[in-house]
C-alpha cells in the first residue's frame, strides 16, 4: 500500500517533518515535528509547526498520531503545540526510559521528573502497529544513534529518523549517551532488509555542491550507494569508521536545549519559584 507523504523542510535545523496519510482517506500522522528556538534569546516560535498545520488543513487530514523517531539533539519538538491544536496522541519508542534516565543524571533534573516515559501517550515496542485508517504502520526498533530510536514503516514508506541518511551522507553518529556503532550497523541492516522499492524518508539533509537538499531515497539506492553501509561494507569496518569519525564531530548547536525539552515529550521543565522556566548548561558534560 502506498502512503501519501507530505514533507515539510525546516531550513534553520535542516530537519524534515513528515505528514503521512492513508492512500484514499483522511487519517494521518506527523513525524518528527520542529519547534523554532533561538538559543541567543531563549525564545521559541511556531513557524515550522504552523507550516505543518497548513499542510494538514490543505488536505483536510485527521491527525491521529504525533510520532517521534527518537529524542532529537538538533531541534526541539513541537509535539505539545500540535497535540493542543489537533488532539492527537504522542508516541515514541519504549526505550525512551533509558534516554530519560541518562539525561536526568546529566542535567540533574528535578526529583519529580519521571523516567518511565509517562510524558508520552504511547511507548511503542518493537513490532508494534500504528493504524492510520486503512493504512497499517509497523514500528521497528533501530537503536544505535540512541537506544530509543525507531523506524516507522507505513505501507511502502519507511521513516528512519537519524539512523541513515541520503546515500552520499551515510549514517548517524553514535557518540551520544548509550549510542553504539555496532548496534547501529545491525539496525541499518534491518532497515535495508525491507523490500528494495521501499521509500526511505530521512530526518535531515544538508545538500552538497552537486545537489540540493533531498530527503527521499530507496532501500535499493541505499544498498547500492550508501557511503557507509552499502553492500559489502562489513560490521567491523563500519564500527571502526564510525568511532573514528565521531571523535572529530562537534556537538550539535542545539543539543543542550533540545534534549532537555524532548526527553519531556516537548514540554519545558517546570517553572521555578519565580514563575520562570529555565534550561541548564552543564559544563564539560560532553
Q: What is the pLDDT of residue 37?
A: 97
User: Pick from 265, 242, 61: which is nearest to 165 by CA?
Assistant: 242
Q: What is the pLDDT of residue 224?
A: 98
Strands 135-141, 129-132: pairing kind: antiparallel
Q: What is the pLDDT of residue 1?
A: 76
Q: State the 10-residue block means of pLDDT for the chain, 286 residues long.
A: 94 98 97 97 97 98 98 97 98 98 95 97 98 96 97 98 97 94 98 98 95 97 97 96 96 94 97 94 83
Q: What is the pLDDT of residue 193?
A: 97
Q: What is the pLDDT of residue 120?
A: 98
Q: How many CB atoms lie within 10 A of CB 170?
A: 20
Q: Rounded distance, CA 41 to CA 127, Å?
A: 42
- Altogether, the residues listed in the chain come to a count of 286
Q: Rounded distance, CA 243 to CA 182, Å?
A: 10
The maximal CA–CA distance of the chain, rounded, in angstroms, is 58
Sequence-ordered list of residues with C-beta below 8 angstroms from that of 117, at least 6 positions apart, any chain: 92, 94, 96, 97, 100, 123
Strands 216-218, 199-201: pairing kind: antiparallel
**How do the domains of the chain map onto residue ranges?**
4-256
Q: How many CB atoms lie within 10 A of CB 249?
A: 9
> How far is Cα of residue 217 from the mean position of the Cα atoms in its chain?
17
| CATH number 3.60.15.10 is the correct assignment for the domain at 4-256 | yes
Residues 196, 172, 100: CA angle, nearest 5 degrees: 115
What residue has cell string 550508501?
Answer: 226
Q: What is the pLDDT of residue 284?
A: 84
Q: What is the pTM of this model?
A: 0.97
Amino acid at each position: 500500500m502506498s502512503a501519501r507523504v507530505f514533507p515539510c523542510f525546516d531550513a534553520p535545523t535542516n530537519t524534515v517533518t513528515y505528514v503521512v496519510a492513508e492512500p484514499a482517506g483522511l487519517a494521518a500522522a506527523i513525524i518528527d515535528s520542529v519547534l523554532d528556538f533561538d538559543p541567543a534569546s531563549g525564545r521559541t516560535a511556531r513557524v515550522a509547526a504552523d507550516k505543518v498545520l497548513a499542510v494538514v488543513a490543505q488536505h483536510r487530514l485527521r491527525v491521529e498520531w504525533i510520532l517521534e523517531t527518537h529524542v532529537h539533539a538538533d531541534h526541539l519538538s513541537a509535539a505539545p503545540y500540535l497535540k493542543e491544536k489537533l488532539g492527537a496522541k504522542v508516541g515514541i519508542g519504549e526505550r525512551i526510559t533509558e534516554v530519560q534516565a541518562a539525561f536526568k543524571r546529566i542535567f540533574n533534573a528535578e526529583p519529580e521528573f519521571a523516567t518511565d516515559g509517562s510524558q508520552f501517550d504511547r511507548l511503542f515496542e518493537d513490532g508494534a502497529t500504528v493504524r492510520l485508517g486503512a493504512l497499517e504502520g509497523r514500528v521497528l526498533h533501530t537503536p544505535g544513534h540512541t537506544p530509543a530510536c525507531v523506524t516507522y514503516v507505513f505501507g511502502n514508506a519507511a521513516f528512519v529518523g537519524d539512523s541513515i541518511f541520503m546515500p552520499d551522507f551515510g549514517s548517524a553518529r553514535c557518540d551520544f549517551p548509550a549510542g553504539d556503532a555496532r548496534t547501529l550497523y545491525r539496525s541499518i541492516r534491518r532497515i535495508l532488509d525491507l523490500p528494495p522499492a521501499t521509500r526511505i524518508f530521512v530526518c535531515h539533509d544538508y545538500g552538497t555542491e552537486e545537489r540540493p537538499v533531498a530527503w527521499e531515497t530507496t532501500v535499493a539506492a541505499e544498498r547500492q550507494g550508501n557511503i557507509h553501509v552499502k553492500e559489502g561494507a562489513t560490521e567491523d569496518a563500519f564500527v571502526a569508521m564510525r568511532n573514528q569519525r565521531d571523535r572529530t564531530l562537534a556537538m550539535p548547536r542545539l543539543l543542550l536545549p533540545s534534549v532537555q525539552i524532548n526527553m519531556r515529550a516537548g514540554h519545558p521543565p517546570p517553572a521555578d519559584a519565580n514563575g520562570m522556566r529555565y534550561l541548564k548548561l552543564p559544563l564539560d558534560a560532553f
